[in-house]
Amino acid sequence: MHLYPGKNTNAKKAKNNNHPHYNMKKNFTILSAILITLFSLNAKAQDDKPQAKSYMSFFGGISHPLSTYGSTNYFDNNAGFAKNGPAFGFDFGIYLYKNLALGITFSYQDQGELSSTDALSLSNNYLASFDKDEANVTTNGRFQTVNFMIGPQYSFLYKKFTLDLRASAGFIKSISTPTLGVIFDNSANSDTYLNQLNSTATAIGYSGSLGLRYSLSDSWDVGIKFNYINSDGIKIENSGPTYTGVGRYQTKMPITELQSTLGITLKF
């Protein structure tokens, strides 16, 4: 838990600067069409070549928050303050015909917590926005999500290497988000508190991934994968005074992340 007081520095007020959030739905459709087209063009050429095997992978690596998800801009109500963190999970490729597969991913991500610098910056900016003598900001909890994604995958085989291209859609489930409490002038009146609550909301997400696997044997691969994930965001709820347009007030948290992972694969 972090508790950081802010002192009045007569900071200038600024208007919220909400960046437009990029919608991946169109890109997901285009990428899916490309993968199916590649399959159609290469189906005959694959008749005399080794066929990809269905597989299950366990992977782990780093999830990097992008765009507003990793922003620490007080004046952007979509800013998420998320940090780099671990990601791990299971990945499945079920080949339906030749090298065209149905890809399924279950993953867990931890994007850290608000830092002491974040809390101090928030307290100073709330102080300036509301023109108070003192503001105390308390934060607690972490950004934790689980993802379920499913979509078409096409694989290119060359000697011991397999290149996997996938477009997916699915759900992002928030396990927890950091809570945020703002108290002005050490007030004992809870009606003056501003509270951003823990969110366990679910949102639709889209992803595009590229993976490269190296065959160790007929049954085992090792590989690296890059997975870009995007969502319009999870719902954020607040308690306290009715929002009047003054200060930071978040109601939605867009999620954009790039995962870089290593995996071990069992083929069957």
Within a 10 A sphere around the Cβ of 42, how many other Cβ atoms?
15
Look at strands 161-176 and 134-140 and give their pairing: unpaired
Which tokens in the block code for residue 268? 């069957």
Query: Strand order of the sheet with strand 238-239?
Result: 2-7, 134-140, 179-184, 194-196, 238-239
Per-residue CA distances from 176 to 1, 76, 140 (Å)? 15, 21, 10
Is 80 or 47 the better-scoring residue by pLDDT?
A: 80
Contact 214, 178 (CB under 8 A): no
Measured on CA atoms in the order 199, 201, 204, 205, is the torsion positive or negative?
positive
Q: Measure the CA–CA gap between 93 and 150, rounded to whole angstroms.
A: 10
Q: Give the rounded percent of residues in the chain with a pLDDT score beyond 70.
A: 81
Using one digit for the tens of pLDDT, what is the confidence trace for 217-226?
999 999 999 9
Q: Give the rounded percent of residues in the chain with a pLDDT score beyond 90.
A: 70
pLDDT at 15 > cutoff 50: no
Q: Measure the CA–CA gap between 144 and 199, rounded to whole angstroms.
A: 10
Using one digit for the tens of pLDDT, what is the confidence trace for 91-148?
999 999 999 999 999 999 999 999 999 999 999 999 899 888 888 899 999 999 999 9
- Region 163-187: what's the mean pLDDT? 93
| SS3 assignment, position 168 | strand
Topology, domain 2-8+19-43+54-267: Porin (2.40.160)
Q: How confident is the model at residue 5 (pLDDT cuts 50, 70, 90)?
A: low
The predicted pLDDT at position 244 comes to 84
pLDDT at 62 > cutoff 80: yes
In the predicted model, what is the mean pLDDT of the chain? 88
The predicted pLDDT at position 109 comes to 98
Measured on CA atoms in the order 171, 177, 183, 187, is the torsion positive or negative?
positive
Q: Measure the CA–CA gap between 267 and 217, rounded to whole angstroms.
A: 9
Using one digit for the tens of pLDDT, what is the confidence trace for 27-60?
667 766 776 666 666 555 555 567 899 999 999 9
pTM of the model: 0.81
Contact 168, 105 (CB under 8 A): yes
Least Cα distance to 206 among 69, 30, 40, 83 occurs for 30
Domain residue limits, the chain: 2-8+19-43+54-267
The predicted pLDDT at position 10 comes to 43
Look at strands 100-110 and 161-176 and give their pairing: unpaired
